[in-house]
Amino acid sequence: MDTAYLSAERRDMQDYGPFIRFPSPSPPAPVTCKMAAAGACSVPDLCRHARRSEQQPFPTGAINRRAVRRGQALYRAGDPLVNLYQLYAGSMKLRITNSAGTEQIASFPMAGSLLGLDGIETGHHMCDAVALEDSLVCVLPFSDVLACSRTDTEAALQLNRAIAHETSHYRRLLMVMANMSSEERIANFILTMSERMATNGYSPQEFVLKMTREDIARHLGMKIETVSRALGRLQSAHIVDVSRRRLCIRDPKALSQMGSSR
- Which residues have CB under 8 Å from 55's CB, separation 6+? none
**pLDDT tens-digit series, residues 2-13:** 444 444 444 444
Tell me where in the chain the CATH 2.60.120.10 domain(s) lie. Answer: 3-176
135: nearest Cα among 9, 257, 34, 251: 9
Domain spanning 3-176: CATH superfamily: Jelly Rolls (2.60.120.10)
What does pTM read for this prediction?
0.78
Does residue 44 contact residue 114 with C-beta atoms inside 8 Å?
no
Architecture of domain 180-259: Orthogonal Bundle (1.10)
Read off φ and ψ for residue 23, nearest 5 degrees: -75, 170
Whole-number percent of the chain with pLDDT over 90: 55
| pLDDT per position as a tens digit, 8-43 | 444 444 444 444 344 444 444 444 566 655 555 667
Task: Round to whole Å and give the CA distance between 183 and 62.
Answer: 47
Query: Rounded CA gap, 92 and 135, in Å?
Result: 8
pLDDT of residue 10: 46
Ranges in the chain annotated CATH 1.10.10.10? 180-259
pLDDT tens-place string over residues 146-205: 888 888 888 889 889 999 989 999 898 988 888 899 999 999 999 999 998 998 888 999
Average pLDDT for residues 96-117, to the nearest whole number? Answer: 92
